[in-house]
Amino acid sequence: MKRRTLPLAQVYRLLEPGPVVLLATSRKGSANVMAMSWHTMLEFEPPLVGCVVSNRNWSFEILKATRECVIAIPTAELAQKVVACGNASGRRVDKFDTFGLTPAPAARVAAPLVDECYANLECRVVDGRMVAKYNFFVLEVVKAWIRPGVAQPRTLHHRGCGVFMVAGRTLKLPSRMK
């Protein structure tokens, strides 16, 4: 899949609307991927992202040990695969292989990009002090990739229990908001 670099100052525009993302990790050459909705921007630049990865998830141990991951943003045509990732555990299944997702080499981290996703954010854990209490990791996005020409990505937004809202129409209002 073709991709270009996205300036780090624009990363917040991808995560602020609250899409379901895939979190990809890798350890000893073995990659894993999970679905995640509990994330928020914490800072514009360098972009900091806070996210909850439950300690019941296989990805938790890998993220804690390697301190690296990729946040990949899927669009609606990947909905089945996203749910499949959410319903399986990397303890038992190679999810990339089983669900037909393609790991691609990242530039700055060992975790793979998810080639099918329209955006990929290479991240490093920069603060783990809230992990013990909230399973909350603070990530810095060190490199961002986006598929060229996707102006209005049909991102998925989880409403619980497998119900998703698909991104709808765009509204532009005069704003001083960043």
Under the binding rule (CB under 8 A), the answer on residue 157 touching a copy of itself is yes
Q: Which CB atom, from 67 or from 164, has the smaller least distance to a copy of itself?
A: 164
User: Residues touching a copy of itself: how many (CB under 8 A)?
Assistant: 57
Under the binding rule (CB under 8 A), the answer on residue 119 touching a copy of itself is no
Q: Which CB atom, from 33 or from 106, has the smaller least distance to a copy of itself?
A: 33
> Which of 111, 104, 106 is closest to 143 using CA atoms?
106
Under the binding rule (CB under 8 A), the answer on residue 150 touching a copy of itself is no
Are 154 and 167 a contacting pair, CB within 8 Å?
A: yes
Are 117 and 78 a contacting pair, CB within 8 Å?
A: yes
Q: Which CB atom, from 28 or from 151, has the smaller least distance to a copy of itself?
A: 151
Report which DSSP code applies to 112: P
CA-to-CA distance for 68 and 64, rounded, in angstroms? 8
| Among the listed residues 7, 43, 46, 97, the single contact to a copy of itself using CB under 8 A | 43
